[in-house]
């Protein structure tokens, strides 16, 4: 399914370090951009769903089975980096965003704002 939105350039790929999240402010959205050692690239909401604090870029990257995860640095809820599902508490989920690299530049797909 193709969702309406727009691709936004965030940074150069060479500005990212594996396993070290970077925060990016795009309009009103704060995102956490994460590069994995295997080259996998993820973009998630930087807002911790449990506390509302903008700290997910400082989360702990890991895995559960074959799923890459990020744990909140505050209360350690663990989220699937691809789906945003919380493995440790069903009441929370983390927004995820499609991400791609074009000509060495990282782009994130942001949905169009909801119509009022």
Tens-place pLDDT, residues 72-116: 999 999 999 999 999 999 999 999 999 999 999 999 999 876 544
pLDDT band of residue 1 (cuts 50, 70, 90) is very low
Residue 110 lies in a domain: no
Q: What count of residues does the chain have?
A: 116
Domain count, the chain: 1
Q: Does residue 115 belong to any structural domain of this protein?
A: no
Per-residue confidence (pLDDT) for residue 113, from 0 to 100: 66
CATH number at residue 37: 2.102.10.10
User: 63 φ, ψ to 5°?
Assistant: -155, 155
Residue 100 backbone class (left: φ over 0; alpha: ψ -120 to 50; beta: rest): beta
pLDDT at 14 over 60: yes
* 48 within a domain of the structure (yes/no): yes
Residue 29 pLDDT > 80: yes
User: Is 113 domain-assigned?
Assistant: no
Which residues have a Cβ under 8 Å from the Cβ of 13 and sit 6 or more positions away? Answer: 35, 41, 101, 104, 105, 106
Q: Both ends of the chain: CA-CA distance in Å?
A: 23
Q: Is 2 a domain residue?
A: no
Mean of pLDDT values over 50-68: 95
Residue 107 in any domain: the answer is no
Range of the domain at 48: 14-101
7 in a structural domain: no
């Amino acid at each position: 399914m193709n969702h309406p939105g727009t691709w936004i350039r965030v940074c150069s790929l060479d500005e990212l370090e594996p396993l070290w999240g970077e925060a990016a402010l795009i309009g009103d959205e704060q995102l956490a951009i994460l590069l994995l050692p295997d080259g996998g690239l993820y973009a998630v909401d930087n807002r911790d769903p449990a506390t509302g604090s903008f700290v997910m870029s400082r989360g702990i990257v890991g895995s559960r089975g074959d799923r890459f995860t990020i744990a909140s640095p505050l209360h350690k809820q663990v989220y699937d980096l691809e789906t945003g599902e919380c493995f440790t508490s069903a009441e929370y989920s983390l927004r995820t965003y499609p991400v791609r690299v074009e000509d060495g530049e990282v782009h994130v797909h942001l949905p169009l704002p909801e119509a009022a």
